[in-house]
Amino acid sequence: MTSTRTATATGAGPSAAPPPALWRQRNFAALWSAHTVSQFGTQLSLFVLPVLALATVGATPGQLGLVSAAETLPFLLVGLPAGALLDRWDRRRVMVAADAGRAVALGVVPLGHALGVLSVPLLCAVAFVTGLFTVFFDIADQAFLPEVVGRRQVAAANGRLEFSRSAAELAGPGLSGLLLQWVTAPLVLLADAVSYLVSALLLGVIRPPASGAAPAAGAGTGADPRPPAAPERMRARIAEGLRFVLRHRVLRSLALATAVANLAGLGGALSALLPAFALRDLGLSPGRLGLALMLGNACALLGALFTARLVRVLGLGRLLLASRLLPGLGVLLLATAGPGRAVPTLAAAAGLMACGITAYNIAQVSLRQAVTPAALQARMNASVRFVIWGTLPLGAAAGGLLGSAVGTRPALWVVAGVALLSLLPLLLTREVRALRDFPDDVEE
């Protein structure tokens, strides 16, 4: 396990000058803007794609699960080699290319609708290609942030990025439901494609300082001058990242807890069960479902705004435990919803999930970045993503099949139990329970 020490996050002594405020840093402003635009577009597609599959293609819960599984399957297939490559590649350029690729992939949906060939297999193919680009973007994104702002400001920067995601989750469902009253679902997806193009343009203006904490020669801020690694070297780099995560008790605990949570969560089983439960079983319109989710997602802003303060009051370990518990309670409440009180129940359930997920993500991502040497950032992120995103396709497929077999409400009770089990890896890890704050630095 990599040890920590109490020096400044950049490795300088206590007298080092503090970095400028985040809002004054041009590179972070561009990254934050790109992240915000992309998140708003993504929320449109997350809401509209299940509505499209249910209303236009007539998908079953099992088929919804297949579409969701296709989008996250690439993390199982290429997540680990992507991390090894991204410790050598220019991460900013990879993010720009991934945004452009996602824009093109999403553009296929309205084209397929216009040509009359839209189907579940086509939606699965689009989801898979989009997910493939997302693998490279997300791993590069988390490894790139410490280069842009430095380790000392990673937690604050993650808070701002998470605030944007929370704001997008707040407005996205309501905006999507409103747009669906005016235009067809395939046309709404064009807005997401455009958002990825805007994000790519914003990322293109970032120029990290040459003296930033790049993980290795050429990694992140420029091409690696060394020749491409042989397959044996690639396997060795992947194995090094996996060993680091699995031997690090805190990283291993976070990965296991998040993996179990994702099995049941909004990207896993709930991605297939929630739309079918709300639109078919409860009889909600897309607009009323969007309203319920928008009201609930307002709690995500609370999580983004108060996480840093809660770390100081509760301690980091207790915050991780509390925030991991809330989503499971939210699914329990969701399973009790009935047609007569569907909107308030869904809003309250979504609020519990959103608040917990937001606070947990800020804390666990910042903690992972804080305890990982710069040279291992991308491989650490890829290894963790392999574990935590690898359960998403399994959860989505299992949730859809379970909903088709026993009904969506009984399936939700099972999902709630799985979500609550995600607390166990954190509870059983003494190092997590004892955490008071983020470590300042790591030994490289």
Mean pLDDT, residues 153-176 taken together: 74
For residue 67, pLDDT over 90 is answered with no
The reported pLDDT for the residue numbered 2 is: 38
- Cα-based angle 97, 265, 430 (whole degrees, multiple of 5): 100
CA distance 217 to 223: 9
- Match domain 24-205+232-442 to its CATH number in 1.20.1250.20, 3.40.1390.10, 1.20.1440.120, 2.40.40.20: 1.20.1250.20
Structure tokens at 70: 């296709």
End-to-end CA distance of the chain: 12
Residue with tokens 């989801």, as numbered in its chain = 127
Q: Quick check: 370 and 155 in contact, CB under 8 A?
A: yes
For residue 442, pLDDT over 80 is answered with no
pLDDT in tens, 221-250: 444 444 444 566 777 877 888 889 889 999
Percentage of the chain modeled with pLDDT above 90: 24
Residue with tokens 């945004």, as numbered in its chain = 99
pLDDT in tens, 14-29: 445 566 666 667 788 8
pLDDT in tens, 93-122: 888 999 999 999 988 988 888 888 888 899
Percentage of the chain modeled with pLDDT above 70: 86
pLDDT in tens, 287-334: 888 888 888 878 877 777 788 888 889 999 999 999 999 999 999 999
For residue 48, pLDDT over 90 is answered with no
Which helix (H) or strand (E) segment holds residue 441: the answer is strand 441-442
pLDDT in tens, 330-352: 999 999 999 989 999 999 999 99
Of 444, 390, 379, the C-alpha closest to 140 is 379
